[in-house]
Amino acid sequence: MTAPSRASADRLGRLLNLVPYLLARPGIELAEAAAELGVSEKQLREDLELLWVCGLPGYGPGDLIDMAFDGDRVTITYDAGIDRPLRLTPDEALALVVALRMLAETPGMANRDAIERTLAKLESAAGDLTSAPVEVRLPGNADRLDTLRGAVERRRALRITYYTATRDELTERVVDPIRVLVVAGRAYLEAWCRRAEAVRLFRADRIDALTELDEPARLPGQVRLHDVSGGVYQPGPELPLVTLRVGRGGRWITEYYPCEDVRPDGEEWLVSLRVADLSWAQRFVLGLGPDATVVAPADLVERVRQQAGAALDQYS
């Protein structure tokens, strides 16, 4: 489909919605309607003008859509038969139903009852379209998430014991919770960390202990939240680049970690990825065992070789 045609279809869809929308809200302010419909006020005025000249062709003016303006307010006085919005398309029904199923399945969700009721109503309104062939299951620790959500809602500071995998250490810190996210099936607490003096994402399953403090959460003015649309771990170019030669059994790492480069090398693959920390990389490579060899950097090769040798000496 060509671009102008797409735009005209979008506009027709918008116009068909506009009449019942305004009909349900007599005397609504144009600015309010435009904001809620996600169009500019100028666009809304143009749409209204076009609607005004719409109606039953070849008939008298009484058959045209009619509306009354009162300053910045508008009321539809004749709807020309468009008093209901169009039924949902299969994609619209799918989008809403799948998202509601996602919410209903998310552990620790508040007001699950309202979500279930909405789902039932939408499914009946969309008819057979919602035999949507999509199922969702997100197992997780609902109790843990309930606690975290409670802290966010009560706006309380938390003292947490947190395991940092990159440094392999447990630390205690006071954080000011902002929100709870579930990304790719894993739950995170996004909070201001008073220790790091920055907004951090804490994986819920690495919060080993948690106490709600008797003090309100405080955020230092405007904080920037993480954009997790591209995944939670998005290594920057400033981090060390590590190149490994991996065999078949180690190639799963290319699915779990963002890799910069994957290329075949004889029977094996050369995989390059950025790591937060070289001591994490050392644990990671040792853990991969016979499935991986470090190619670069040279000091990581040396660290892994020395550690493996020292560990072996313990058993001799």
Partner 1 sequence: MICLLSTRRFLTAAQIATTVPGYEHDPDDPRDHEAFQRKFERDKAELRELGVPLETGTASAFDTEPGYRIAAREYALPDIQLEPDEAAAVGIAARLWRHAGLAAAASSGLAKLRAAGIDIDPSATLGVEPVVTVDPAFAPLTTAARDRRTVAFDYRVPEGDAPTSRRLEPWGVVCWRGRWYVVGHDLDREATRCFRLSRIVGQVRLTGKPGSYEPPAGVDLISHVARWSGPVERTGRATVLVRPGRAAGLRRWAREVEPTADGDKLVLPFADPDGLAASVVGYGADVRVLDPPEVREAVIQRLKEIATRHEAASVSAR
Shortest Å, Cβ 111 to partner 1: 6
Q: How far is CA 3 from CA 7, 11, 92, 226, in A?
A: 6, 12, 21, 34
- Work out whether 312 is an interface residue with partner 1 (CB under 8 A): yes
53-112 residues in contact with partner 1 (CB under 8 A) are 54-58, 63, 65, 80-82, 84-96, 98-100, 102-103, 106-111
* Greatest pairwise CA separation for the chain in angstroms: 102
Nearer to partner 1, 14 or 173 (CB): 14
Task: Give the residue, chosen from 50, 67, 228, 278, that forms a contact with partner 1 under the rule CB under 8 A.
Answer: 228
Nearer to partner 1, 128 or 238 (CB): 128
Instruction: Supply the DSSP symbol for 108.
Output: T
- Work out whether 183 is an interface residue with partner 1 (CB under 8 A): yes
Shortest Å, Cβ 37 to partner 1: 7
Nearer to partner 1, 149 or 238 (CB): 149
Triad 254, 258, 262: Cα angle to 5°: 45
Nearer to partner 1, 135 or 197 (CB): 135
Of 66-74, 182-190, 192-200, 215-223, which segment contacts partner 1 by CB under 8 A?
182-190
Strand partners, 189: 180, 202
- Work out whether 169 is an interface residue with partner 1 (CB under 8 A): yes
Q: How far is CA 278 from CA 141, 190, 292, in A?
A: 31, 25, 16
- Work out whether 50 is an interface residue with partner 1 (CB under 8 A): no
Site string for partner 1, 1-40 (x = CB under 8 A): x---x--xx--xxx-xxxxxx--xx----------xxx--
Nearer to partner 1, 115 or 193 (CB): 115
- Work out whether 163 is an interface residue with partner 1 (CB under 8 A): yes
Nearer to partner 1, 7 or 239 (CB): 7
- Work out whether 118 is an interface residue with partner 1 (CB under 8 A): yes
- Work out whether 301 is an interface residue with partner 1 (CB under 8 A): yes
Task: Give the residue, chosen from 229, 236, 238, 266, that forms a contact with partner 1 under the rule CB under 8 A.
Answer: 229
Q: Is 76 exposed, middle or buried (0-12, 13-18, 19+ CB in 10 A)?
A: buried
Q: Report the sign of the C-alpha dihedral through residues 27, 31, 36, 40, in that order.
A: positive
Nearer to partner 1, 28 or 213 (CB): 28
Strand partners, 188: 181, 203
SS3 130: helix
Shortest Å, Cβ 172 to partner 1: 13
Closest of 312, 308, 277 to residue 292, by C-alpha: 308
Sheet holding 73-78, edge to edge: 28-29, 73-78, 66-70
Q: Which residues contact 152 (CB under 8 A, 6 or more apart)?
A: 177, 178, 179, 180, 189
SS3 62: helix
Amino acid found at 118: T
Nearer to partner 1, 166 or 211 (CB): 166
- Work out whether 302 is an interface residue with partner 1 (CB under 8 A): yes
Q: Which residues contact 71 (CB under 8 A, 6 or more apart)?
A: none
56-63 CB contacts, 8 Å cutoff, 24+ apart: 56/80
Query: Cα separation of 279 and 46, whole Å?
Result: 62
- Work out whether 178 is an interface residue with partner 1 (CB under 8 A): no
By CB under 8 A, the count of residues binding partner 1 is: 125
Nearer to partner 1, 108 or 217 (CB): 108
